Amino acid sequence: MKVVWTEGAKEDLKEIAAYIRKDSRDAARRVTSAIRARVATLSSMSQRGRISDSDDALEMVFAP
């Protein structure tokens, strides 16, 4: 499976990073790196995602 980030998802990640960066640049890097790494696992473990409202997309939920 090929993982494709939607434009909305890319923008959400940028907003998450910007929000965290207000307090800590290092924390922002760690969080965004962790999200990217976990999403990348979908290419080999697609069962980790859940089917979204769109028929051809999967979602991953990240808890704090």
Q: What distance lies between CA 32 and its chain's CA centroid?
A: 8
What is the model's pLDDT at position 62?
Answer: 72
Residues of the chain with pLDDT under 70: 46-49, 54-55, 58, 63-64
pLDDT per residue over 36-52, tens digit each? 998 888 788 766 667 77
Q: CA dihedral defined by 19, 14, 56, 34, rounded to 10 degrees?
A: -70
Distance CA(13)–CA(28), nearest Å, equals 10
pTM: 0.74
- What letter represents residue 41's amino acid? T
